[in-house]
């Protein structure tokens, strides 16, 4: 699932730079699975189709729907799918612009709008009265959820719920029974309150890759060292420690205003038979690709230049949301 950038969003000044990134994402994903694209209006849809035609993309693999949006971060406004007894169910959590930082009324309605247009076929959709973004959670598919307390326990998301109550609700909704909470770790320029998908990711049930910093002079050093110590202390359900794979940090990238941007290699996307990995025209790109490849030896590793994406403080995983086979109508 992609929500395409348009001139009515904060991408207006960057469209010529960011659209090629979305075209590359759609092309790579379409070679492995179907793609759902939300467009601003009919003219926007025709424009996107033209761009994808130019890339040589097989449009029979693409489902276009007209759904106005505030922004493009499908990871956070898209549905989260749970599978119960082999049947998928879509959970539409509330999205409030990362703790009411931005207007998100259109984005919060995208999943319901797509459902009304039969984008998800007969898959049931349930609206959930809980604020939750897809980028804020990682699961191993076997009952363990990894997240950050700074985000999930933010007073600007679900102020009436404490930690045990959040755990209780997510246990019921997502079928998880173990919670791993990170109290440390952040990226400069990040506006999500430390989404886990920028910091640490499950590669398998026993392996976690994470952002590391080996420069004591870098502003991230202390917090990421503390995060690494937390990860080292975590245990699997069987009591064994996790295999931890450190990912390098790109060298500092700043926007025109001098703000450091949240570039991270942890924001990769797992698709059928492949992993798309963000790169930033940085000398650490090759090392990051090598480390991710170690974690996914059976999958093709595909680099995608995401330097334009971080101009709006997100990357590759942030603009995508996976849907299981059989969901698309």
How far is the first Cα of the chain from the last one, in angstroms, to the nearest whole number?
13
Give the closest residue to 193 by CA, choosing from 101, 78, 73, 278.
Answer: 101
Q: Does the global pTM surpass 0.75? A: yes
Cα–Cα distance, 140 to 134 (Å, whole number): 14
Secondary structure (DSSP) of 166-220: HHHHHHHHH---EEEEE-----TT--SSS-GGGTEEEEETTEEEEE----TTSTT
Decide if 274 contacts 250 (C-beta within 8 A).
Answer: no
Strands of 243-247's sheet, edge to edge?
200-204, 207-211, 243-247
pLDDT tens-place string over residues 101-113: 999 999 999 999 9
| 127 phi and psi angles, rounded to 5 deg | -80, 135
pLDDT at 211 over 90: yes
Residue 304 is predicted with a pLDDT of 98
Place of tokens 């933010």: 154
pLDDT of 240: 98
Distances 154 to 78, 137, 286 between C-alpha atoms, Å: 20, 14, 35
Return the higher-pLDDT residue of 326 and 282: 282
User: pLDDT category, 46, cuts 50, 70, 90?
Assistant: very high
User: Is residue 316 over pLDDT 80?
Assistant: yes
**DSSP 3-state assignment of 4?**
coil
The helix (H) or strand (E) run that includes residue 76 is: helix 74-77
Residues 108 and 98 sit within 8 Å (Cβ to Cβ): no
Separation between Cα atoms, residue 4 and residue 10, nearest integer Å: 12
pLDDT tens-place string over residues 158-202: 999 999 999 999 999 999 999 999 999 999 999 999 999 999 999
Give the C-alpha distances (Å, rounded to integers) separating 89 from 110, 225, 253. Answer: 17, 38, 39
How many CB atoms are closer than 10 A to CB 260? 16
Domain layout of the chain by residue ranges: 2-319
pLDDT (average), residues 18-43: 98
Query: What Å distances lie between residue 56 and 49, 85, 132, 269, CA to CA?
Result: 11, 39, 36, 22
pLDDT digits (tens, 9 = 90+) for 283-296: 999 999 999 999 99
- The domain over range 2-319 is classified in CATH as 3.90.1150.10: no
3-state secondary structure of 43: helix
């Amino acid at each position: 699932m992609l929500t395409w950038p348009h001139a009515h969003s904060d991408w207006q000044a960057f469209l010529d730079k960011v659209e090629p990134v979305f075209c590359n994402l759609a092309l790579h994903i379409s070679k492995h699975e179907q793609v759902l694209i939300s467009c601003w209006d009919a003219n926007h849809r025709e424009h996107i189709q033209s761009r994808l035609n130019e890339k040589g993309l097989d449009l029979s693999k693409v489902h276009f729907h007209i759904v106005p949006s505030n922004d493009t971060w499908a990871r956070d406004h898209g549905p989260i799918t749970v599978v119960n007894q082999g049947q998928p169910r879509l959970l539409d959590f509330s999205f409030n612009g990362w703790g009411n930082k931005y207007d998100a009324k259109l984005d919060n309605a995208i999943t319901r709008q797509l459902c009304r247009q039969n984008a998800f076929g007969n898959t049931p959709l349930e609206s959930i009265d809980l604020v939750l973004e897809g980028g804020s959670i990682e699961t191993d598919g076997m009952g363990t959820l990894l997240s950050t307390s700074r985000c999930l326990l933010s007073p600007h998301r679900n102020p009436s719920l404490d930690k045990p109550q959040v755990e209780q609700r997510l246990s019921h909704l997502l079928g998880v029974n173990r919670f791993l909470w990170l109290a440390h770790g952040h990226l400069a320029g990040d506006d999500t309150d430390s989404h886990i998908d920028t910091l640490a990711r499950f590669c398998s049930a026993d392996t976690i890759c994470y952002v590391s910093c080996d420069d004591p002079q870098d502003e991230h050093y202390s917090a990421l060292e503390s995060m690494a110590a937390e990860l080292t202390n975590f245990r699997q359900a069987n009591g064994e420690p996790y295999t931890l794979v450190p990912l390098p940090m790109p060298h500092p990238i700043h926007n025109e205003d001098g703000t450091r941007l949240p570039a991270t290699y942890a924001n990769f996307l797992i698709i059928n038979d492949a992993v798309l990995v963000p790169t930033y025209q940085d000398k650490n790109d090759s090392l990051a690709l090598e480390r991710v490849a170690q974690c996914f030896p059976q999958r093709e590793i595909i680099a995608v230049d995401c330097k334009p994406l971080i101009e709006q403080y997100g990357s590759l995983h942030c603009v995508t949301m996976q849907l299981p086979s059989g969901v698309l109508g």
